Structure 1
């Protein structure tokens, strides 16, 4: 298995602990260290590698790497110090199942994450509206994550959500900046998250993101 691709998939949180903030006095709290149970049925709903753009050769991550990549997308590693604590992402009921494609030339990734949850997508939307920025500390590294909501994509799902997230870490010489653009949807108890991630000021590959999200929603809808 190409370890190089897996390494890029989880690179964000290796270089930068992640997070989001709300107005008012922040209260520090340790993020939960629990992880969701594996769900083999979710992997069957992931898009095939051929569904990814040709410049993003893709693989399905094994369970341990998938768990790491999921925290990377949420922006909070287990055991992180989150301020405010109310912005800590909820733990899904089962999963994740993740496929990731990597463009080595632009140092960017397209990631598809599927999890099972008993919470509607509106619960996450409400949390993100309160958590435009938060501070997250992990392993001596502090990061500030800013999240902005975009108009949701009009697709055949129970609910959809779009967001842009910037993670600015103090680690390394001058720190690092990681940018994500995500499209989320929910069909029944399956939460879909398709994310484009890059470093620096690179422009998001919106066309590839939209296409992969549409393909994934369709596959989950068909079951």
Structure 2
């Protein structure tokens, strides 16, 4: 795992679709936790087992008790995952080179589990994504982008992203990002904060993101607990 001392700023859009996806999934399944469709059986040799992504994802019971967790069904993943990068599908990014790389949001490419703390209106999201690029490329893009503006559905947001000290966990590589999202007019501004821990294990990228509105302090203890469990499950298969 490489050491990281570089600090930079880039930008993303308010990922409100995460909350919408969770609410929609809960409404559609009532008391039953929705499953994720089985992905293909082919996983690269770098992954500790031949299991598909859904088998490597944390169960809702793995989340801290205050976070009511569900596994998102595929249609909700395609809505929520892009917003965690700050760039909804079909958004316009300025500078354009700061747009996130293409990602497969289908069940063989991305799976997600989301825990919601209703008291603080915050979430912890675990995402597993197949990738054929090293984590260093994401770090370099973040370091080079500075601030960017994201426009989607008539709304515009500006987000600052700082590269934080990498989480000390056994993986091929790790990265941590802190994002502050600002959107809306001067009299009606919305601030959203995200802290994301990322690890690369073979061709699986594991990320855990704490997201909250306002200036609430991130629940780093719960985030670290979930991230550690998520990486260990991918590593052990």
Deviation at 1:92, TM superposition (A): 2.6
TM-score, normalization by structure 1:
0.81
TM-score, normalization by structure 2:
0.77
Assess, with a 3 A threshold, how the Cα gap between structure 1 residues 111 and 9 changes in structure 2: closer, same or farther: farther
Deviation at 1:62, TM superposition (A): 0.6
Quote the residue 2:99 is aligned against. 88
Quote the residue 1:197 is aligned against. 211
Alignment match of 2:58 (pick from 47, 51, 74): 47
Whether 2:150 is the aligned partner of 1:136: answer yes
Counterpart secondary structure, 1:44: helix
User: Contact 1:132/1:148 (CA < 8 Å) preserved in 2?
Assistant: no
Assess, with a 3 A threshold, how the Cα gap between structure 1 residues 173 and 69 changes in structure 2: closer, same or farther: farther
Please, which runs of 5 or more residues in structure 2 have no aligned partner?
Answer: 1-16, 23-37, 41-51
Deviation at 1:39, TM superposition (A): 3.5
Deviation at 1:171, TM superposition (A): 6.4
Looking at structure 2, the residues matched to 48 and 172 of structure 1 have their Cα atoms a distance apart, in angstroms, of 41
Please, which runs of 5 or more residues in structure 1 have no aligned partner?
Answer: 1-5, 12-37
**Dislocated runs of 4+, deviation >4 Å:** none
**Which runs of structure 2 are paired with 1:177-188 in the superposition (5 Å)?**
177-188=191-202
User: Contact 1:115/1:192 (CA < 8 Å) preserved in 2?
Assistant: yes
**Which runs of structure 2 are paired with 1:113-192 in the superposition (5 Å)?**
113-170=127-184, 174-192=188-206
Looking at structure 2, the residues matched to 121 and 9 of structure 1 have their Cα atoms a distance apart, in angstroms, of 29
Alignment match of 1:64 (pick from 61, 67, 75): 75
Aligned Cα root-mean-square deviation (Å): 1.9
Q: How many residues align?
A: 192
Looking at structure 2, the residues matched to 172 and 79 of structure 1 have their Cα atoms a distance apart, in angstroms, of 26
Looking at structure 2, the residues matched to 213 and 9 of structure 1 have their Cα atoms a distance apart, in angstroms, of 23
Quote the residue 2:89 is aligned against. 78
Assess, with a 3 A threshold, how the Cα gap between structure 1 residues 174 and 10 changes in structure 2: closer, same or farther: farther
Alignment match of 2:229 (pick from 215, 218, 222): 215
Quote the residue 2:122 is aligned against. 108
Looking at structure 2, the residues matched to 7 and 175 of structure 1 have their Cα atoms a distance apart, in angstroms, of 19
Deviation at 1:7, TM superposition (A): 6.3
Quote the residue 1:19 is aligned against. none
Counterpart secondary structure, 1:128: helix
Deviation at 1:172, TM superposition (A): 9.9
Assess, with a 3 A threshold, how the Cα gap between structure 1 residues 132 and 9 changes in structure 2: closer, same or farther: farther
Looking at structure 2, the residues matched to 158 and 206 of structure 1 have their Cα atoms a distance apart, in angstroms, of 22
Looking at structure 2, the residues matched to 83 and 168 of structure 1 have their Cα atoms a distance apart, in angstroms, of 15
**Deviates further, 57-66 or 88-97:** 88-97
